[in-house]
Amino acid sequence: MRSSLTKDAKLILENGIIFSGYSFGSKGKVIGEVVFNTGMTGYQEVMTDPSYFGQIITFTYPEIGNTGINFEDSESKDNIIKGIIVRNYSNNVSNWRSKISLNNWLIENNVVGLSGIDTRALVKILRKYGSMNGIITTGDETYDECIELLKKSPKMRGLNLAEKVSTSTMYDWNINKSREFDLNNDNFFHQKKLKVVAIDFGIKKSILNRLASYGCETIVLPSKSNLDEVLSFNPNGIFFSNGPGDPSSVSNGINLAKELIAIGDISMFGICLGHQIFGLALGGKTYKLQFGHRGLNHPCGLNNKVEITSQNHGFAIELDSIPDEIAEITHFNLNDRTVAGLKVRNKPIFSVQYHPEAAPGPHDSDYLFKNFVSLMLERC
């Protein structure tokens, strides 16, 4: 659906390329890293995933909005994307769970939308030249003014965005806050309740729900928490969450991971940014991918075992940067052979680069939560 008869909005990339289209959602201008997501479903979860903080998302699926927005599937309340770019958006909602249209939700959350552009052409540019900053504007800024704004905007490399999306205070997450369907999980009831401390670098609600469905009482702590604060809760396990930005800049999280790994007898699990922080804590290095992995069908595996995974990240661990005697690689991304999983040798510590909570995405990797729980139960 077009919100006007004439093109009234534009995207300008930092390399100077312009796309003109139709505005929807909120009006104004936003600057962020322009990335693309190849998923065919789950736009609500994507837009509210804190890992996309500071970014403008291009959806490759040609029509977005026909299922509206509900009150259950958002991954966070406040940490949402800056803007979205779509080929077509639908204001005609047809879904029994929907409570508000995409257009109205964008207006309420001050998210700028751009439709009616050739998203295939845009994605081909991002694949060739890499993700880059861009500006969407519905105003009358000139081309030169927009380029000047882009020159002054910070690049993703070097940004510690985890501290911007992390909770500022501790809070508890228990089964009463998880989705109803999780109550039927066969693994939920344990004789002993398991206490998990989750370090919030931009944690998704669905991850907390999966932990709860496996019988974990989770205490969520800010990203700047120190070792004494974490250990004061006597946890059975420690979880390092997903999050946005450059992992090498999250110095507090890296130092905390180093100290916890040195202790070595506490079960630990990391997802996405948490996985990268584990790699850095083990002495490894990370680097920025050209255009990242953002979608729901990325194959990962090793030794003839393959999982179809949901991914959302722009950085990766350098393959040869972690000594083999310290950690083993458990998964590769089979599209480009980047590191997708690791396990610390002789310690109950592992991590993956993808999202086993499957919101959105396939459920192939849900067993990883069970593995985390099993490691904790072995040490109870």
Token duo for residue 146: 């927009």
**CA angle centred on 272, ends 269 and 275, rounded to 5°:** 50
- Tell me whether residue 92 is in a domain: yes
For residues 331 and 371, what is the distance between their CA atoms, to the nearest angstrom?
Answer: 15
Q: CATH code at 342?
A: 3.40.50.880
Same domain, 123 and 185: no
108: enclosing H helix or E strand: helix 102-108
Report the CATH number at residue 118: 3.50.30.20
Q: Are 209 and 216 in contact (CB under 8 A)?
A: no
Tell me, what's the pLDDT at 220?
98
Q: Are residues 124 and 168 in the same domain?
A: no
**Do 208 and 131 fall into the same domain?**
no
Calculate the alpha carbon distances from 357 to 9, 361, 366 in Å.
36, 8, 6
In this prediction, residue 179 carries a pLDDT of: 43
Neighbours of 99 (CB within 10 A): 13
Closest CA to 57 of 125, 112, 18: 112
Q: Tell whether the torsion through CA atoms of 175, 168, 48 and 334 is positive or negative.
A: negative
Residues 181 and 119 in one domain: no
Sorted by sequence, the CB contacts under 8 Å of residue 325 that are 6+ apart come out as 345
Is 157 within the bounds of a domain?
no
Nearest-CA neighbor of 299 among 360, 343, 365?
365
* 4 domain residue, yes or no: no
Residues 179, 59: one domain?
no
> Are 62 and 102 within one domain?
yes
| Tens digits of pLDDT across the chain (380 residues) | 554 568 999 999 999 999 999 999 999 999 999 999 999 999 999 999 999 999 999 999 999 999 999 999 999 988 889 999 999 999 999 999 999 999 999 999 999 999 999 999 999 999 999 999 999 999 999 999 999 999 999 999 999 999 999 999 999 997 554 443 343 445 444 456 899 999 999 999 999 999 999 999 999 999 999 999 999 999 999 999 999 999 999 999 999 999 999 999 999 999 999 999 999 999 999 999 999 999 999 999 998 899 999 999 999 999 999 999 999 999 999 999 999 999 999 999 999 999 999 999 999 999 999 999 999 999 88
Helix/strand/coil for 36:
strand
Return the percent helix, strand and coil in the chain, to nearest 5.
25, 30, 40
Hey, what are 159's tokens? 């940004």
Question: Which structural domain range is residue 70 located in?
Answer: 9-152
Residues 123, 170, single domain; the answer is no
d(C-alpha 357, C-alpha 198), whole Å: 15
Q: What SS3 state is found at 298?
A: strand
Please tell me the predicted confidence (pLDDT) of residue 40.
94
Residue 44 lies in a domain: yes
Strand partners, 329: 342
Instruction: Mark which of 104, 132, 152 sits at the end of a domain.
Output: 152
Q: Which of 93, 123, 152 is the last residue of a domain?
A: 152
pTM of the model: 0.94
Count of domains observed in the chain:
2
pLDDT recorded at residue 2: 54
Q: Residue 3: inside a domain, yes or no?
A: no
C-alpha to C-alpha distance for 306 and 355, rounded to whole angstroms: 15
- Determine whether 308 is exposed, middle or buried from the number of CB atoms within 10 Å of its CB (0-12, 13-18, 19+): middle
List residues bridging with 135 in a β-sheet: 12, 31
Tokens 């800010």: give the residue: 222
Q: Are residues 238 and 360 in the same domain?
A: yes
Instruction: Tell me if 308 sits within 8 A of 362, measured CB to CB.
Output: yes
Do 135 and 194 have their domain in common? Answer: no
**Residue 180 and residue 321 in one domain:** yes
Q: Which positions are annotated as active-site residues?
A: 272, 355, 357
19 inside domain: yes
Does the residue 278 lie in any domain?
Answer: yes
In order of 98, 287, 298, 311, 329, the CA distances from 319 in angstroms are 43, 10, 18, 18, 9
**Residues 178 and 50 grouped into a single domain:** no
Asked which of 152, 185, 206 is the last residue of a domain, the reply is 152
Distance CA 356, CA 102 (A): 26
Give 368: exposed, middle or buried? Use CB within 10 Å, 0-12, 13-18, 19+: buried
For residue 2, tell me if it sits in a domain.
no
**Is the domain of 344 the same as that of 281?**
yes
